[in-house]
Structure 1
Amino acid sequence: MTEITATTPAVSAENSRSRTVRQLVRYALIGGSGVVIDFVVFLLLHNLAGLDEQLANALSTTLGIANNFVLNALFTFERRDRLVVRFLRFYAVGLTGIALTNLLFLAFTDGLGIDANLVKAASLPLVLALQFVLNRKWSFA
């Protein structure tokens, strides 16, 4: 005999919040791997190869975005349909992170003389939060 239970709006809202929290945790963990890739590649390109911080940031962030898209599609949002469209949206959201970081470089590195490595590190949590909201609502909706 199968038991049928009614879902109340309160239970549904609680399940939705719980799912959002699980997604945020996974997104942050996966984002952590992308951050490591992004930051290490940035350091290599900027400090060792001598690339300008803007170009180094664009390249390193692109690698982090690709890593994060694959892992988020598989594990966070569990969406495997329309991958090209989703990747283009995910990359567009990633471009907002590049733009935000570049604005912070302009303000803090160029404007105030703060080390680009510190600005890059400090920008990461802000960019992660913005991108989670945008990716959840647009890229993987």
Structure 2
Amino acid sequence: MKHRNAYIISGIGALVLFVAFVMYNSAPVPLWNWIKLSDLLTIAGGLMFIVPFYQLSVRVKTREHAPNPWVWQVLPVVGMVLMIIGLLIPNDFVSFGAVALCDVLYFLGCVGMLMIFVYPLHTVNDEMLEDDVESRTGNGR
């Protein structure tokens, strides 16, 4: 595997996210006022999961001189920050009818982080093809 450490860290992050998901519906463990242990585990696991993909994405897109660097360098970081803020504020802090502010921040954060995987469109296919060629030819090991 070319990026084995990144995949290991992302896998551990996914496990931490699973633990946070299981703890979410259990009795809340408040740490500071409204912040719960499951919120902190979600933040830690989410960052462990997404940051290695972000770093690999930036490395590949820099190497290939992808257009509009602010889209794939800045927007994912802004998305991560919005997700963290959305997790840290209480659900009833501000609401717009049936939609809470934290839900809007989650949505905007997800849209921002989507740029890691889908911008520009052809790079995802190129990376998958490179991995396929390496695995079939035995190069890169």
Q: Specify the TM-score bucket, using the shorter chain as the normaliser.
A: 0.3 to 0.5
TM-score, normalization by structure 1: 0.37
TM-score, normalization by structure 2: 0.37
More helix by share: 1
